[in-house]
Structure 1
Amino acid sequence: MKESQKITDERFMREALRQARKGLGLTSPNPAVGAVIVKDGVKISAGYHKKAGFPHAEIEALKKLGGNAHGCTIYVTLEPCNHYGRTPPCTEAILASGITRVVVGAKDPNPGVPGRGSQFLKEHGIEVTLGVLEEECRTLNEAFNKYITARRPFLIAKSAITLDGWTGTSTGQSRWITNEKSRQFVHRLRAQADAVLVGVGTVLADNPRLTVRLRHSTKKQPMRIIVDTHLRTPLDARVLDRISNSQTLIAIGPDVSREVLERHEKSGSTVVVCPVDQGRIDLTALMDILAAREITSILVEGGSSIIGSVLRKALVDKYYIFMAPKILGGGNGIPMAAGIGPKSMDGCIGLRDMQVRRFDDDIMIVGYPYYG
């Protein structure tokens, strides 16, 4: 491929990525996808997938042209589908439109349809270019990729700590360690996740709403999940309110009485009985239960106990750590991750592909855990 063509392809794929990001947090269990249609080096249409069951990005872009894109090139962040699901296959619409070239960012990770979209297009005489800005396109849908291949939600953990590693004082106070800009970014993470998960300890200590509160409006609220083995969540807890149109799911153990369970169900919550492991909710089993409910991504915002639990179970796929320029001092604060740590440094959990970003004086570290 000529260098000039490579530069052109990357330019329009970046525009397709911008389109795709408009759908982040709205398309689950489908991926977020963007498409751009180009004629003689000029963008003439664009679209993105808005919601599961709605037209895919390619169809949205084609609709604006009346379905006629003769001689055009379409740039799409994910390989066009070639199967019937909630919507017809995009490959047939592309073929019927007269498009002569398809530029794809990432291949469809669905193990049930490996490469079929590209194969169909090639067999019908359409030029296909694969792998343009592939890493960016794959990262955009890292939650979908995990869900469709492993049938498990993509688990994102978040912690806010002082410079000396504490998430709260000895009395449990933690508001506020980080600044407003950091907290607004966390609301963006909530908006992009299917669900926000905390332990009952956080509910009892902080009485949070766990809703998205951004300066601009959001089109959806994530499901709120409480890990509560003995169902201690008060009926008047703010996390149970229905004003925000956000659903609440409480994961409980098998020993909770039917009477207590029914009181919570009558309040509008979904209560799910889970297996227990050493007296606590089996978080691995809970992930399977949530995957069956088409929850593809979960933001874990709980305290020290739940963070320690998901790390020990090697369930965390991505970790955001917000560090404020504050020193708590002493040795009796709340640690970032509770529980019994390893006896040697060889047992540490590492972060790969780490990135660092500043929010005024706060520092955000994000990476992908690897477990020894």
Structure 2
Amino acid sequence: MATPADITAMRGALALAARGLGSTSPNPVVGCVITDTAGHPVGSGHHERAGGPHAEVHALREAGDRARGGTAYVTLEPCNHTGRTGPCAQVLIDAGISRVEYAVADPNPRATGGADTLRAAGVEVRQGLLEAEAEAGNIAWLTAVRLGRPFVRWKYAATLDGRTAAADGTSRWISSAESRADVHRLRAESDAVLVGGGTLRADDPHLAVRGLDGVTQPLRVGVDTRAELPAGARILDPAAPTLLVVGEDADTGHLPGAEVLRLPLHEGRIDVRALLAELYARGVRSVLLEGGATLAGSFVAAGAVDQVVGYLAPVLLGAGPAVLADAGISTLTEALRLDVTDTARVGPDLRVTAVPTTTPKGA
């Protein structure tokens, strides 16, 4: 039975893990708190970057000899393999830790088994403390490992009547400055930011993270099947890496120096699963899908939207482009149903976060 002190320590580990969002890929975010034999916190740490020390190592370094006989609270099962760093299960054993509480089991077949190694060495091990919170905090990496493709968060901004622009095409700005700042936070937590060709040509988005210090810029991915992007597009500047995804026969001669990924087209569209497989192979574990409606429809139809974040502005237009284009849904019984997991006021807007509870037709 978890005590209030156990819960406090694990909440501290969860807060530490969140510091790694956007900088640890393709590794998970992990936090660790070490308490001594009297239950006093003596060490803490988080996984800061891929290839660097894991959370347990940082926490044990801070704790030193005070860790012997103590407890380690870890948001993810301590790893059991040697990669760029050694197995954390053995590090905990060597430090003399007597008890390990971890929140979520490691689904990575290369790293799992840490709990068994700890138990074999006589360490008391329990799993499941604040599991749901830890799962939510590491959902991108966990989804990527379980599905073998990047986690996809679809973000959009719209009026209360579901319009992303007015009838004349004007769209700046539907959402508030506070909502736009919040989107930069989402970008900073993502490995890649993805938009379609229509959005590239209509809005000329920059897609890099602004207003936040010390972030790792995500890969900017533009899906432009016919390579109609002008050479001076903002997405091509050096502020962040960029990948242009085009059809196999697209002419990219006017885009010298741009990194290009060529994929076959199906009925004029990029195959969503093929695109995600390519991004996964490049180490991308989380994608922020920012637009537009046609590309979002393709992702919904492919069953490749894992979370929806909508910024709803207190505005009515009555006409103009809708949030979502054809997603292969022709009747209400085929609708993609969502479970709202969070609502929050962001400036004058309402941010709604939801996850799918049904599988779309054809997925």
Q: Same fold (TM over 0.5)?
A: yes
CA contact (8 A) 1:212 1:218 kept: no
CA contact (8 A) 1:191 1:218 kept: no
Alpha-carbon distance between aligned partners in 2 of 1:110 and 1:310, rounded to the nearest angstrom: 25
Query: Where does residue 298 of structure 2 map in the other structure?
Result: 309
CA contact (8 A) 2:42 2:66 kept: no
Measured after TM superposition, the shift of residue 79 of structure 1 is: 0.5
Structure 2 gap ranges (5+): none
Alpha-carbon distance between aligned partners in 1 of 2:57 and 2:91, rounded to the nearest angstrom: 7
Go from structure 1 to structure 2 and tell me whether the alpha carbon gap of 1:176 and 1:67 turns closer, same or farther (over 3 Å shift). farther
- 1:253 partnered with 2:247: yes
Deviations 1:262-309 (A, max 9, x none): x53x43x21011121111111111111111111000000012221122
- 1:221 partnered with 2:210: no
How many residue pairs match? The answer is: 358
Deviations 1:213-272 (A, max 9, x none): 12x413211000000111111111010000x2x110011111123xx35x53x43x2101
| AA aligned opposite 1:250 | L
Measured after TM superposition, the shift of residue 210 of structure 1 is: 0.2
Go from structure 1 to structure 2 and tell me whether the alpha carbon gap of 1:212 and 1:304 turns closer, same or farther (over 3 Å shift). same
Alpha-carbon distance between aligned partners in 2 of 1:13 and 1:112, rounded to the nearest angstrom: 25
- 1:352 partnered with 2:339: yes
Q: 1:11 aligns with which of 8, 12, 35?
A: 8
CA contact (8 A) 1:155 1:316 kept: yes
- 1:38 partnered with 2:25: no
Measured after TM superposition, the shift of residue 187 of structure 1 is: 0.6
Q: 1:209 aligns with which of 193, 206, 210?
A: 206
Measured after TM superposition, the shift of residue 171 of structure 1 is: 2.1
Query: Where does residue 324 of structure 1 map in the other structure?
Result: 313
Alpha-carbon distance between aligned partners in 1 of 2:331 and 2:242, rounded to the nearest angstrom: 40
Deviations 1:196-226 (A, max 9, x none): 0001111111111101112x41321100000
Equivalent residues in 2 for 1:62-101 (5 A)? 62-66=60-64, 69-101=67-99
| AA aligned opposite 2:338 | L
CA contact (8 A) 2:39 2:70 kept: no
Alpha-carbon distance between aligned partners in 2 of 1:89 and 1:32, rounded to the nearest angstrom: 16
Q: 1:371 aligns with which of 343, 359, 362?
A: 359
CA contact (8 A) 2:197 2:229 kept: yes
CA contact (8 A) 1:156 1:298 kept: yes
Alpha-carbon distance between aligned partners in 1 of 2:330 and 2:16, rounded to the nearest angstrom: 48
Residue aligned with 2:309, SS:
strand
Residue aligned with 1:103, SS:
strand
Measured after TM superposition, the shift of residue 13 of structure 1 is: 0.2
* Amino-acid identity (%): 42
Alpha-carbon distance between aligned partners in 1 of 2:287 and 2:215, rounded to the nearest angstrom: 18
Residue aligned with 1:59, SS:
helix
Query: Where does residue 236 of structure 1 map in the other structure?
Result: 232
CA contact (8 A) 2:300 2:327 kept: no
Residue aligned with 1:322, SS:
strand
Measured after TM superposition, the shift of residue 353 of structure 1 is: 4.5
- 1:168 partnered with 2:157: no
CA contact (8 A) 2:80 2:114 kept: yes
CA contact (8 A) 1:197 1:224 kept: yes
Structure 1 gap ranges (5+): none
Query: Where does residue 336 of structure 1 map in the other structure?
Result: 323
Query: Where does residue 300 of structure 1 map in the other structure?
Result: 289
Query: Where does residue 275 of structure 2 map in the other structure?
Result: 286
Residue aligned with 2:276, SS:
helix
Alpha-carbon distance between aligned partners in 2 of 1:286 and 1:185, rounded to the nearest angstrom: 27
Alpha-carbon distance between aligned partners in 2 of 1:350 and 1:301, rounded to the nearest angstrom: 20
Deviations 1:308-356 (A, max 9, x none): 22112221000001111101024xx000011266332111111124321
Measured after TM superposition, the shift of residue 67 of structure 1 is: 6.3
Alpha-carbon distance between aligned partners in 1 of 2:351 and 2:126, rounded to the nearest angstrom: 36
Residue aligned with 2:291, SS:
coil
Alpha-carbon distance between aligned partners in 1 of 2:333 and 2:39, rounded to the nearest angstrom: 54
Measured after TM superposition, the shift of residue 371 of structure 1 is: 2.5
Alpha-carbon distance between aligned partners in 2 of 1:348 and 1:148, rounded to the nearest angstrom: 27
Alpha-carbon distance between aligned partners in 1 of 2:98 and 2:20, rounded to the nearest angstrom: 27
Alpha-carbon distance between aligned partners in 1 of 2:327 and 2:347, rounded to the nearest angstrom: 34
Measured after TM superposition, the shift of residue 194 of structure 1 is: 0.1
CA contact (8 A) 1:320 1:364 kept: yes
Query: Where does residue 264 of structure 2 map in the other structure?
Result: 275
Alpha-carbon distance between aligned partners in 2 of 1:225 and 1:21, rounded to the nearest angstrom: 25
